[in-house]
Copies of this chain bind each other. A is one copy, B any other.
Amino acid sequence: MTRKKVKLAFISNDCARKATFKKRKKGLIKKVSELSTLCGIDICAIIYSPYESQPDVLLDNHGVHRVLAQFKRMPEMERSKKMVNQESFIRQRISKASDQLKKQHKENREKEITQEINKRIDELKKTTAPPPPPQQVATPPPHVPIGNLFMQEQKSAVDLTMDAMQRPQWFTNWMNNPSDHQQMNSFGHGDEMMLLFCENNHNKMWSNAFFP
């Protein structure tokens, strides 16, 4: 019966540690659920642990579930297009860039062909005449460096994706100033990682991968 005052340290006994993890995880889920109910918060929680192959997943019936249900009603292809915010965004950018590229390509080819043809025709007409002096083309056709089409944007596709997802200012601050984190304590022992993420849903839900 609860004797110790909870020595706040790593539990070295594997069995005891696992037991504690399961109990406390259960308590955590309950707490999170209560917070959701009491404060009117739509919630989505995923808890992945080394002790269970499947993670615990919580989500409410309002936002996420409704969206997921919509996705399920979609034809497979449409769904896969819409599934991920970033995907549709990048698709749009690629499509747009490809259209521009196609158009520019066509223009370039037409102008260059016209030039080449005129030049050859001139040469053919002057076959018996002395060869003309080396001729510098007065106005070379506008040229788009194809390989750099995507680089012309000051921002990369992913930058723009992040923008579109309204990556909040705090994230930038946080990435740049990890030492400023008030909550940063040296708990943790290098085995597992947990992310607790809470965001209001009139903003886009945001998250990303941190690791190379």
Residues of A whose CB lies within 8 Å of any CB of B are: 6, 8-11, 17, 20-21, 24-25, 27-29, 31-50, 53-65, 67-69, 71-72, 80, 82-88, 90-91, 94-95, 98-99, 101-102, 105, 108-109, 112-113, 116-117, 120-121, 124, 146-150, 156-159, 162, 165, 170, 174-176, 178, 181, 183-201, 204-212
Contact = CB atoms under 8 A, between A and B. Distances in A.
B181 A38 contact: no
Nearest to A209: B85
A63 B191 CA distance: 9
Nearest to A145: B102
State how many copies of this chain the complex holds: 2
A59 B35 CA distance: 22
Given A45-B195, A120-B117, A197-B196, A188 B62 contact: yes
A58 to B, nearest CB: 4
